[in-house]
Amino acid sequence: MKRIVTIQDISCVGKCSLTVALPIISAMGVETAVVPTAVLSTHTMFKNFTFRDLSTDIPLIQKHWKEEKINFDSIYTGYLGSIEQIDMLKDFFKEFKTPDNFIFIDPVMGDNGKLYTGFNQEFADEMAKLCNLADIVVPNLTEASYMLHKEYKENYTEEEIKELLIELSNLGPNKVVLTGVSFKENELGVMSYDKQTNQFFTYFREKINVKYHGTGDIFASTLVGALVNEKSLEEALKIAVDYVWETINDTYIEKKEDAYGVNFESKIPYLINRINM
């Protein structure tokens, strides 16, 4: 069985980071090892959340796993709590990167033009340096703007998105995916760039006019799961966008509050069908 290690926080309520990565990757038939970076009572969109930093455990977990000769088909990072953790991961990558696996970074930092509580430009700059070690990075437009020191805009032309993708690939990774891309009012999706083949790829679905928290984490978890299942980047992107669309649609019908995330659980059978197609 393939094995992914995912490194991100546990937000105990709110359906993001580890509480979505674990069930989604497992449902895709891949073992999910975890390095929890922090424990929060909820994600940071709620007020008065608790935050326990788990940085000191990271090198200890790394050392033990090295002794046990544990290896991974992919190393997938999401929300990281501090610059110190970014530095620790550089070392973690060195220990566990092999010629056969790939490093997948979701540089979780912000959305809608703003950084989440607790992040600043310095963190974005350090995250950009961490991306140098990645094989694939999957920022949204906010995260890309901060990492590249570019102004965030509401609307982009195809040429501008291509430029952003190339600049992101110049940070280091061979494959880059931008999420939240839209060239028409009623469409939303992703655009990717593969530096080795010089290929761009777009995939859109009909836009549902709501924003739910945690969908970026669902997208990233599904994408890395599909890639480890040996789907091509294009096929994996279609599966991830379609699954996120299904979960948003299901939630929209129920009209839930956005901070509580999407009904990804009810669409797990859909995901399993897609991955086995």
> Total residues at the site for ligand PXL (CB under 6 A)?
14
117: its two tokens: 């509580």
Considering the complex, what minimum distance in angstroms separates the CB of residue 218 from ligand PXL?
9
Residue 12 makes CB contacts below 8 A (sequence gap 6+) with: 19, 39, 40, 41, 42
Considering the complex, what minimum distance in angstroms separates the CB of residue 11 from ligand PXL?
5
From 17, 101, 140, 179, residue interacting with ligand PXL (rule: CB under 6 A):
17
* Amino acid, single-letter form, for residue 47: K
In this structure, what DSSP letter does residue 139 have?
Answer: -
Residue 273 makes CB contacts below 8 A (sequence gap 6+) with: none
State which of positions 217-236 bind ligand PXL (CB under 6 A).
Answer: 217
Considering the complex, what minimum distance in angstroms separates the CB of residue 26 from ligand PXL?
19
State which of positions 55-114 bind ligand PXL (CB under 6 A).
Answer: 79, 108
| Residue nearer to ligand PXL on the CB measure, 49 or 201 | 49
Q: Which stretch binds ligand PXL (CB under 6 A): 21-29, 119-127, 175-183, 209-217?
A: 209-217
Q: Where are the beta strands (DSSP E) in 186-275?
A: 187-194, 199-206
From 7, 21, 40, 181, residue interacting with ligand PXL (rule: CB under 6 A):
40
128: its two tokens: 């950009």
From 16, 35, 75, 188, residue interacting with ligand PXL (rule: CB under 6 A):
16
For residue 225, give the nearest of 32, 34, 8, 35 by alpha carbon.
32
For residue 133, give the nearest of 101, 105, 167 by alpha carbon.
105
Which residue ranges make up the site for ligand PXL (CB under 6 A)?
9, 11, 16-17, 40, 43-45, 79, 108, 116, 214, 216-217
